[in-house]
Chain A
Amino acid sequence: NAGVTQTPKFRVLKTGQSMTLLCAQDMNHEYMYWYRQDPGMGLRLIHYSVGEGTTAKGEVPDGYNVSRLKKQNFLLGLESAAPSQTSVYFCASSSYPGLVSSYNEQFFGPGTRLTVL
């Protein structure tokens, strides 16, 4: 099993350009997440999905859109990139989370390093 994969690994954009980051998981997980990580800061949740066809806002959703058309894929879109969106983006997936009795770790992809000039 590949686990969680992300494409691309690196990308440089100019301000105002758009792009889509792709996340794929082969663990049949219901929940998927997009985080951004900035230097000296933890991971901040952008958007998440609790199942195919559903999406929800996280802590920092502005400037991003997401789609979950297939259970195994979660796409993150930037419609008009800004320098403030320069960051490392991580996708993660998990089985049903938050259940106290469940062993519900999140599995992370390798990340996408995005620079917006």
Chain B
Amino acid sequence: GQQVMQIPQYQHVQEGEDFTTYCNSSTTLSNIQWYKQRPGGHPVFLIQLVKSGEVKKQKRLTFQFGEAKKNSSLHITATQTTDVGTYFCAGYNNAGNMLTFGGGTRLMVKP
């Protein structure tokens, strides 16, 4: 079945430093979604990427979808303590009815 892997599993950064998490799928994805889960909270949708090579920005967050549509990345510029949480990527299967989540990257920011 489809597998989605994320690295790193954990990342400690000093406030103001940049952060990147990488997502790789074993199969080609029709689209990819990113979610953020604050400690003790539930996943909240951030963005969806659809096109090969697509790049989207949300303030300090930059999302990329690979040319082969098998990988993606999330880059945060100048992290803040409010960025703390676990970031998940997720991709739909070919039938479009099941979302497979990566293991997540837990971001910790030291003030």
Q: Interface range on chain A: under 10, 10 to 19, 20 to 34, or 35 or more? A: 20 to 34
- Do residues B88 and A98 form an inter-chain contact, with CB atoms below 8 A? no
Q: Mark A19-55, 1 if CB is under 8 A from B, else 0.
A: 0000000000001010100001111110010100000
Q: Are B30 and A98 in contact (CB under 8 A)?
A: yes
CA distance A41 to B90 in the complex (A): 13
Q: Does B111 contact A (CB under 8 A)?
A: no
B30: A residues at CB distance < 8 A: 98, 100
**B103-A108 in contact (CB<8A):** no
Is A90's CB under 8 angstroms from B42's CB? yes
Q: Is the interface of A mostly helix, strand, loop or mixed?
A: loop
Question: A97–B88 contact, CB under 8 A?
Answer: no
- Across the interface, do A41 and B103 meet the contact criterion of CB distance under 8 Å? yes
* CB of A57, distance to nearest CB on chain B (Å): 10
Report the separation of the CA atoms of residues A4 and B31 in the bound assembly, to the nearest whole angstrom: 24
Query: Whole-angstrom distance between the alpha carbons of A42 and B2 in the complex?
Result: 14
- The answer, yes or no, to whether B43 is at the interface (CB within 8 Å) is yes
Q: Is B97 in contact with A42, judged by CB distance below 8 angstroms?
A: no
Using an 8 Å CB-CB cutoff, how does the interface string of B1-29 with A read, 1 for contact, 0 for none? 10010100100000000000000000000
Q: Hey, which bits of chain A sit against chain B, CB under 8 A?
A: 31, 33, 35, 40-45, 48, 50, 56, 58-59, 90, 92, 97-101, 103-111
Task: Kindly list 19 other residue pairs between chains A and B, CB separation below 8 angstroms, not including A90-B42, A97-B96, A105-B45.
Answer: A35-B101, A40-B103, A41-B104, A42-B88, A42-B102, A43-B90, A58-B98, A59-B100, A98-B30, A100-B50, A101-B50, A104-B48, A105-B33, A107-B45, A108-B42, A108-B43, A108-B44, A110-B41, A111-B42
